[in-house]
Structure 1
């Protein structure tokens, strides 16, 4: 993280990191998502006897992507992201949980409500700076597998809200009618949005022609846990030792 990026993250609460995934990685990740979508047998908002992949299935969500194999396991410690996460979370940070959203139309699994913010203080999702060092709670990496063009929807936030000293006005939370201070973030396929969960953020209704495909890998400082469920590194024997350390349960010692 260079000085300009440090400044922008402190100012905004997020960074866009371009081209962190290769074309080969995008192909492999999208191919597996294609397989998972095709295997779904109970479309949401569709009749019980509707065919698989019915057109009125507007979104998909899967939690826990590591069993899907090496392309997803490689994102545990993707090299372009590791230096940033070390600065944001300190030594020994851990992967807290992961999931994916595929949104075809309208609102996705979490709806269109803005959430998060610097106030009230959340001991699992926070941001502050002390003696020139950043301290973050839960921190997200959102990998976009398809282009998100201006006006199509997707990730949006209130820049700077991770440092707000006042609660976010509840009447501004509905992204169907977003406030003027909200900023949408358009990114190209293969890019990542890196943000603190203390940032007020959400998902605009999807209006793109294709699908919005986003992988979320969320990290915590080594002593914290946001998710109740924990990883068992022994379930994934092909992981490297560095990847296994990132799946450790929360704690300070031993490290």
Structure 2
């Protein structure tokens, strides 16, 4: 099956064409086996600590787990985020999702705000949430908790039929993303997608990092941990939205990190 396969690092002209055409790109083998192992163990710990059952997601894992913190500004992904947003953007949220063993199909949806759907903002739906999803368990075959995407649906003026959404039905144009653990998917908030079925006997984990313009409110935290801000890097403090004038309209008066000035 055709797939918009990219490479780590630079956001190339081909990347841009694929992203604008499909709404997502797939970057294989971003994390090595040891990094996957560390992130997976961290993900299991934060879910155990939160006491989750069934399908669940937990935020702010980056504040307590160094392996997850390291993905905030991963060099394979951050240049691509910067190419799409420019120099001023924040980490709006970081969610670790767990799909339980033998988990069924998820519901079709676009990312956004339940309080005010992004499709009210205009057509095409603007890029407000750019999601980088790191696969922490193997999804190289279908029905292993894969993401299923509808290529190009971020440009569709027609909504997905209610009957399909209500019944969690199949679509002839849905692509089941098959990739190894350690791969990443970078996708537009307006792409229609869902969690595909997971037939195996272990829980599936994926770590999602969602980048947004600096004026978007964080969704996985009410505030940043002061201890985390003190010990983390200047770049990561910047991505947490901890700029000098948070009261300034739309975050307009904060300076970019030194790494972006080079």
Structure 2 CA distance for partners of 1:82 and 1:36, relative to 1, 3 Å:
closer
Structure 1 counterpart of 2:73, from 73, 77, 88:
77
81-90 vs 31-40, which deviates more?
Answer: 31-40
Any gaps of 5 or more consecutive residues in structure 2?
A: 1-10, 243-249, 256-262
Q: Aligned pair 1:104/2:89, yes or no? A: no
Residue-pair matches, total: 232
Q: Aligned pair 1:221/2:217, yes or no? A: no
Instruction: Compute the displacement of 1:188 (Å).
Output: 0.6
Q: Is the 8 A contact 1:117 1:168 kept in 2?
A: no
Structure 2 CA distance for partners of 1:159 and 1:40, relative to 1, 3 Å:
same
Q: Distance in 2 between matches of 1:170 and 1:84?
A: 34
Q: Distance in 2 between matches of 1:247 and 1:137?
A: 16
Q: Distance in 2 between matches of 1:159 and 1:69?
A: 34
Any gaps of 5 or more consecutive residues in structure 1?
A: 45-57, 129-134
Let me know the Cα RMSD of the aligned residues: 2.8
Considering fraction of residues, name the structure with more helix. Answer: 2
Q: Distance in 2 between matches of 1:222 and 1:36?
A: 27
Structure 2 counterpart of 1:3, from 13, 20, 30:
13
Q: Distance in 1 between matches of 2:137 and 2:172?
A: 26
Q: Aligned pair 1:238/2:231, yes or no? A: yes
Structure 2 CA distance for partners of 1:242 and 1:12, relative to 1, 3 Å:
same
Structure 2 CA distance for partners of 1:14 and 1:28, relative to 1, 3 Å:
same
Q: Aligned pair 1:18/2:16, yes or no? A: no
Structure 2 CA distance for partners of 1:187 and 1:174, relative to 1, 3 Å:
farther
222-231 vs 158-167, which deviates more?
Answer: 222-231
Q: Is the 8 A contact 2:42 2:65 kept in 1?
A: no
How does 1:1-255 map onto structure 2 within 5 Å? 1-36=11-46, 39=49, 44=53, 58-107=54-103, 112-116=106-110, 121-123=119-121, 136-152=127-143, 153-173=145-165, 176-225=168-217, 227=219, 229-232=221-224, 234-236=226-228, 237-248=230-241, 251-255=251-255
Considering fraction of residues, name the structure with more strand. Answer: 1
8-17 vs 67-76, which deviates more?
Answer: 67-76
Structure 2 CA distance for partners of 1:61 and 1:180, relative to 1, 3 Å:
same
The residue aligned with 1:48 is none
Structure 2 CA distance for partners of 1:235 and 1:190, relative to 1, 3 Å:
same
Q: Distance in 2 between matches of 1:122 and 1:103?
A: 30
Instruction: Compute the displacement of 1:193 (Å).
Output: 0.7
Instruction: Compute the displacement of 1:157 (Å).
Output: 1.3
Per-residue Cα deviation, 1:134-161 (whole angstroms, up to 9, x for no partner): x621111110011103321421111101
